[in-house]
Structure 1
């Protein structure tokens, strides 16, 4: 499920999502279906490799790749915020509508508050993946 063959377009798309040089980015749910062009653009923009889900570093941004059938979405989101910095952002990346593994928006909207998150916006993250931006409430995570 790759994105485009244009690295500049991928980098521009990533910048629009709020990634900045120096951000520490952690990733959950990686498998061979994720968008490698998107991942590469994130790494190039932030200037470092994306940390895997076993890392203990505090992350400014978490990428959470999730497909229908990957297990419990609430559990995936709770795992994603374990190392999230105060004021950090979770990008839940799901296959777009009509793609295998698509997750309905209603399921995301239901899971977010249960996991202690607030879904703030949805965007087209890449050719095959939609992104839902999530933050922790201003008064604390849970």
Structure 2
């Protein structure tokens, strides 16, 4: 464990003894890592009580507005797709997620990390993405319990 810049102690990506504001500020760097910019329209799909609230708040702060509900028909720049093993067919869910995605938009597939309930194997993501017409470009640690996989349309389709 080490001291964080905000005064709390950090261990395994978590800050202990920090206020919620300090945790959101620390998590904002993760939102930046997702490439969310001010003015981006960000839609959230698959929210449930297990989602990381600090990451959600950081993404909302980074884009400067509330996250757009999954039932919206707006065109969006970014989709945050929370997905767990028991959530159904990943390829079908990805195809539904791209409906309102702008050209050059990004889907961040947020899945529980290895060893967590609902974890999705990397091979399953690699299989589902091209079925939906997407390609995987990178994977990041989006939050303490969640990994993010960046999915985009191949350049030849843009």
TM-score (norm 1): 0.94
Q: Show the 5 A alignment for 1:1-142.
A: 5=20, 6-140=23-157
> How far apart, CA to CA, are the structure 2 residues paired with 1:123 and 1:45?
17
Equivalenced residues, count:
139
**Unaligned stretches of 5+ in structure 2?**
1-13
SS in 2 for 1:53: coil
CA distance in 2, matches of 1:101, 1:88: 26
CA deviations 1:84-135 (Å, max 9, x no partner) are 0000000000000000000000000000000110010101001000000000
Q: Which has the higher contact order (CA 8 A, sep 6+)?
A: 1
Question: What do the CA deviations read for 1:42-71 (whole angstroms, capped 9, x no partner)?
Answer: 001100010111111110000110000110
Q: If the length of structure 2 is used for normalisation, what is the TM-score? A: 0.85
- 1:16 deviates by 1.6
Structure 1: runs of 5 or more not aligned? none
The residue matched to 2:150 in structure 1 has which SS?
strand
Structure number, greater radius of gyration:
2
Deviating runs (4+, > 2 A) in structure 1? none
| C-alpha displacement of 1:140 | 2.0
Where 1:139 maps in the other structure, the secondary structure is helix
SS of residue matched to 2:50: coil
Q: What is the CA distance between 1:13 and its match in structure 2? A: 1.1
CA root-mean-square deviation = 1.2
